[in-house]
A and B are shown apart, each in its own frame.
Chain A
Amino acid sequence: MAKYITEINKNGNVAVDDNILVKDIPATAGSKMLESFVPLFSATAVEKLTAAGYTLSGKTATGEFGLDLYGETSVNDICAAASLVKEGAVKAALNVDLNGAPRRAAAIEGVTFIKPTYGTVSRYGIIACACSGEQIGVTAKDAATAAEVLSVIAGYDEKDGTSLKDVKDIDYNCDAPTKGMKIALVKELYNENLDAAVNAYKAAGAEVEEISLPEVFAAQTAWQILYSAETTNNLSRFDGVKYGHRTEKYKNIDELYVGSRTEAFGFLTKATILYGSDVLSKGRYEECYDKALKIRRKVVEKLTELFGRYDALLMPAYSKAEFEGYPIAEAFEKVFDESRYTAAASITGMPAVVAKGVQLVGDYFCDGKLLALAKALEKEEA
């Protein structure tokens, strides 16, 4: 499967996912809907990278709108960016993490990825789905390289209303000593992917303690509600009127809408839109969306409390790399199942780092500490 949807420069050293805008370069977000869409401006993160002397290699494949975790519903190679990094074809890649897809890809390919603290990297120029949680993150061969690129793209952006002003104070130095750090292993999510990491941390002099955190399942359900609702709303702009795919068969505006969207969206996107419409509808808002917002606050409280005692949470980033074929009608549920590993960081906006196949989640603005933990792991397991 093709790794690039659009190639820009064979000698470029950074790949950019196709749901991040680069001026004048087509941006499909992996969807037939945007086959012909050429953006008028670049994402702030892209501007910052090129201003710092990095060159773009091309637009890497993603699942449709970044919703897909498996690639089962997508013709695209959803590990495209991670595998380019693994091959050494590029130094780093920018990806949108909205439901854990790049975290999962990095874990499968054995490279490093950081989803930074929400609000520290501008979201201006993302083909948005889940504005309240999605973030641009960096895939790189190791923590030090990820830290280098992240420090370039991070910072306040007046074009993003949720961008945080005092970001410059965050330290992306990943050389902090990890000896004596306390890591909590989340019992509910344990799988054998974690064993090597636990041994490596113990060898490096960090403490690993098992904790129970059933809130991860509440986070999983609540995040599905929030991201689906926001995705429904954000994708409603793709209506065939202004740009993107337009059906040839229409006699009035309703047929234009329905025909264009039916033809252009894939199954998972449609399922997400239906689910998102339901949770926002009259009478359902209070019991679904509003409740999900309350759960978000509860999860933040619980994690904040844990971070008073622990430096990071250790959990897997995925269940298994390969999936046997399953009926496409199950795609939405499959994605939901798999998101148990990634939802806590998505819904809280807390930073998460994937390295050596495992995931570390930390407190707000502790991106540097997570990168240091990732670096220790890379060193121990090398």
Chain B
Amino acid sequence: MFANFDFDVIRRSLGYLFLDGMTFTLMLTGLAGLGGLIFGTLIALMRLSGLRLLGRIAGLYVDLIRSLPLVLVIFWFYFLVPYIGQWLTGASRPVRVGAFVSSLITFIMFEAAYFSEIMRAGIQSISKGQPAAAQALGLTYSQTMRYVVLPQAFRNMLPVLLTQTIVLFQDTSLVYVVSIPDFLGAASEVAHRDGRLVEMYLFAAAVYFVISCAASFGVRRLQTHLAFVH
């Protein structure tokens, strides 16, 4: 059944696929995960701050982003980011933004909504006695969060955060819709250039599968490890 196929096309394009494509995908996943975690934590803190207006705004943002498909959000930011750049720098024309920066901003803003829900659950899982004890010790609100609540919340939620990062890794493939060359984009480019769609897409699927499987296996091991430590 594979008689007419040319799997050599994969070997010939390995350099491009991994050095360009996969590097883009992994960098995007890593930086967007980190940025999403930072902004997500800030959003979670806003929602739990007890300040009604701040909480409302954060809640609306999370609900809005979570009810939109990622593809639509990618389009939004792809067209919006140049205008935001223009507004920020006071330039006379919309600012040209590179593919990487544009998709990085998109994924940070998108993932922040999902990470914030995880961090919110993590913060709420900390028993009330912890912040109370911190206050009794004379720590300020930010010290309580920084040294007592957030480290524990982060630790408790680590498996969930990592699982979300695996989802993020898979979701980055959707930058395909704005023709940005991530791993899948690179595979698709070679596929169309050489007329080898079957070989390239099977290979891309296998690579995503192996990486995601390995990562989720790692998360499961971490989970059992954490369960023992507690």
A, B co-complexed: no
